A and B are shown apart, each in its own frame.
Chain A
Amino acid sequence: MIAVIDYDTGNVKNVMKALTYVGLESILTDDADEILSADGVILPGVGSFGPAMDELNKRDLVPVLQEVVQRKIPLLGICLGMQLLFETGYEFGQHQGLGFLPGKIVEIPAKEGLKVPEMGWNQNEVLQPASRFAGVDGKFTYFVHSFYADCPQEIVVAGVQYSTFIPSVVSQGSVVGMQFHPEKSTDAGLDLLKAYKGMVEEYVDTRN
């Protein structure tokens, strides 16, 4: 069972439908016991950094997510959920993030002829060919965002070219982030969710 974190942040049902499609059952929850007993945890998110962190704090979910990382339960952040995994966010002010990954969330720089938000399909370039998510190399995935992760290259599995290089898949230990929407990226996205399923299965094996 995958726990999808419920913190009132937009439409998460499509993430759950895609999980069902790749054979992962999921529940939407903000309950600490349900989250910590799950085989994997997904932090979805659409919206703005500050209010999203406020909502996690209001529901006392920050220490629960820290415990998830401590126990090495595979944690996948999607879109804003990925951005929250970093140390600091600079969307409408400065906000402290979860700090599971090194780096900060900054605005996509303006460039003549390129629109912000980046909205649409962009082509991934893999920097870590040995990663379980390397299958995304050369594939297009669907992005909707105005901010991106400025982070050390060691954690960048893949990225896309826009007005700057934008990390699209980041990973460190049991923590993974995807800037695009795998649940909206047809086969390329579903394949990444299957790769995450592989992580979940390995975690279940080690736990048992």
Chain B
Amino acid sequence: MLAKRIIPCLDVDDGRVKKGINFVNLRDIGDPVEIAAMYQEQGADELVFLDITATNEQRKTMADVIERVSSQVFMPLTVGGGIRSIEDMQTMLRAGADKVSLNSAAVNNPALIQQGAEKFGSQCIVVAIDTWWNEETEQYDVMVKGGREDTGLNAIQWAKVVQKLGAGELLITSMDADGTKNGFDIALYQAMDEVVDVPLIASGGVGKVEDFSEVFQETNVDAGLAASVFHFRELTVDQVKAHLREQKVVVR
């Protein structure tokens, strides 16, 4: 049986791991290689690197970060943020990433998913979907630009479309839960379970170890992702896993 995966997310700006609230007032957390190695030591199963500025100059800096991390840290690495072309994907995969994650670019140009899957294989292509529950239309809407713009697209339908185009994994962030520390958006992942056949990563809302056991017991997601609770050492990956083992959830 596959183990449920615990994935710390590292927000990277100018070659450093940073953390702010809604990407403002960034605090420097440290060197990506050191932090990635620390997470490996704690038992993380995978790492996601998010380029939070994602300008063209920054992309080269990000590739250097991935090159350095992949020489010291031996687990799957995913890079997201500002990946807009096959060339961007190639740059990150050559640098040592195992997967690339597409978010706004996939919405603007869905063909990019298919082109990436054909060239590199579906296992390399993660589609990230930021979503929130729209009370008026009573559906989950897809958000872009870091959650600042509502596209009006139905996130459940969009999840189906991106799978057809060749996405090998979905990283779904609840903008309602993100930053609240009140736990994952269980209803969202239950709705996604119905339509998603590829591995699914839940993201947004983690505040305590029980949030992970809840999402794994109440939904079929394969992995849980968190950033701040790990960066600010409110939780360690080993604490999360010790709790999950007690709850009879299979972890590595």
Contacts and interface: CB of A to CB of B under 8 A. Distances in A.
B74 A183 contact: yes
Interface residues of A, number: 30
Nearest to B123: A144
A contacts with B: majority SS: mixed
A115 interface: yes
Nearest to B73: A186
Interface in B146-172: 168-169
Contacts of B93: 11
A126 B93 CA distance: 33
Given A11-B94, A13-B94, A119-B168, A20 B3 contact: no
B96 A10 contact: no
B71 A17 contact: yes
B36 to A, nearest CB: 12
Contact of A161 (B1, B5, B197, B198): B1
B168 A14 contact: no
Interface in A1-25: 10-11, 13-14, 17-18, 20-21
Nearest to A119: B199
Contact of A142 (B76, B96, B168, B222): B76
A121 interface: yes
B222 A120 contact: yes
B74 A10 contact: no
B237 to A, nearest CB: 12
Given A120-B2, A140-B252, A21 B71 contact: yes
A121 B252 contact: yes
Contacts of B94: 11, 13
B44 to A, nearest CB: 9
Contacts of A120: 2-3, 5, 45, 199, 222-223
A206 to B, nearest CB: 30
A202 B96 CA distance: 31
A17 B3 contact: no
A13 B77 CA distance: 13
B120 interface: yes
A140 B3 contact: yes
Contacts of B98: 11, 14, 184
B2 A47 contact: no
29 contacts: A10-B120, A11-B93, A13-B70, A14-B70, A14-B96, A17-B71, A47-B121, A113-B220, A115-B222, A117-B122, A117-B168, A118-B2, A119-B2, A119-B169, A119-B222, A120-B2, A120-B45, A120-B199, A122-B1, A122-B3, A123-B3, A123-B252, A140-B3, A142-B76, A162-B1, A184-B98, A185-B75, A186-B40, A186-B75
Given A120-B5, A122-B1, 9 more contacts: A14-B98, A17-B96, A21-B71, A113-B220, A118-B2, A120-B223, A123-B252, A162-B2, A184-B75
Interface of B: 1-3, 5, 40, 45, 70-72, 74-76, 93-94, 96, 98, 120-123, 168-169, 197-199, 220, 222-223, 252
